[in-house]
Amino acid sequence: MKTLTRNHVIYRFAPSIAPVLQADPGEEVLFETLDAANGWVKTAEDAVDLKRTRDPQKVNPATGPVFIVGAEPGDTLVVDILEITLGTRAYTRLIPGAGVLANEVKTPRGKVVKVRGGWIDFGGGVTFPVRPMVGVLGTAPLSGEISTFQPGDHGGNMDLLDASEGARVYLPVNVSGALFALGDVHASMGDGEASGGALETDGEVRARFSLNKDERISRPWIEHKNKWITYGSGAALEEAIRVATRDMVNLLRTKLGLDKEEAFMLVSVTGDIRMGQCAFISGVGMTARVVMPKIRK
């Protein structure tokens, strides 16, 4: 297994960024990741010191990029998330102007918590189990660059709870080698990331790669043992929901041989539309997903 250290991070997905590691299909890579603020947050005061921790050019570092041998435009890159190891501390914060209650937050506030034994010590006697997930996974777009703070058809800052251990993530390949990167590990995040912040932490993610040359996809989707998840992003939540729903309808047509109308009805009666990130952060798109139980004919 190869290891890619957190010394190799990017803040943009772009075809112009040279890969720092090469991996063959079937190979495992251990990604060391930084937290969303590049490891600078040590105290609650640090968490709200935006001049130091929120450089708009260096947000949500992603470890990579990795060149996947044999990946060509039109292929589908398959990433199995095998294991997520969390750091020992995590932080979150409230910032005026961010989150679904943005106008009600008048004073910045930060919080640093301990992560140990699979539990979060939130302080004041409040504890709850960790919910590890990867916020940012993506491949390079065909041209230009996309900030790791942004979601898009390439993946990026999707913030989906389903990007967890046991997930199989399908990503479009737009350039030779795919140029894959991941980061923004969370010790826990609620659907919607309502305040604009999860429990941000550093970590390690063990992943395995494979290629599907028989399937061309436009956007990422995720598979778990018992469910399928499609994903959408957009400037508005409604747009993200429509994209995710349309993709699930198309996935069900492929998996179950249904026509469009049958597939849409099936989504309505047994699928769940869930938010990814809808914190209304200026300049950042919304994400949504549709979760369907695996149905066999």
Contacting residues for 296 by C-beta, under 8 A, at least 6 apart? none
Q: What is the C-alpha separation between 271 and 246, in angstroms, rounded?
A: 12
Question: Please, what are the averages of pLDDT over each run of 10 residues along the chain (297 residues)?
Answer: 97 98 98 95 87 76 98 98 97 89 89 96 96 98 96 96 98 98 98 93 98 95 98 95 98 96 98 91 86 92
- Confidence (pLDDT) at 53: 64
Q: What is the model's pLDDT at position 51?
A: 67
Q: CATH code for 2-225?
A: 2.60.120.580
Angle, helices 260-270 vs 237-256, to 10°: value is 120
Is the peptide bond between 293 and the residue preceding it cis, with omega within 30 degrees of 0?
no
Q: Model pTM?
A: 0.95
What pLDDT score was predicted for residue 98? 83
Q: Are the CB atoms for 2 and 29 separated by under 8 Å?
A: yes
Token pair recorded at residue 116: 């140990």
CA 111 to chain centre: 22
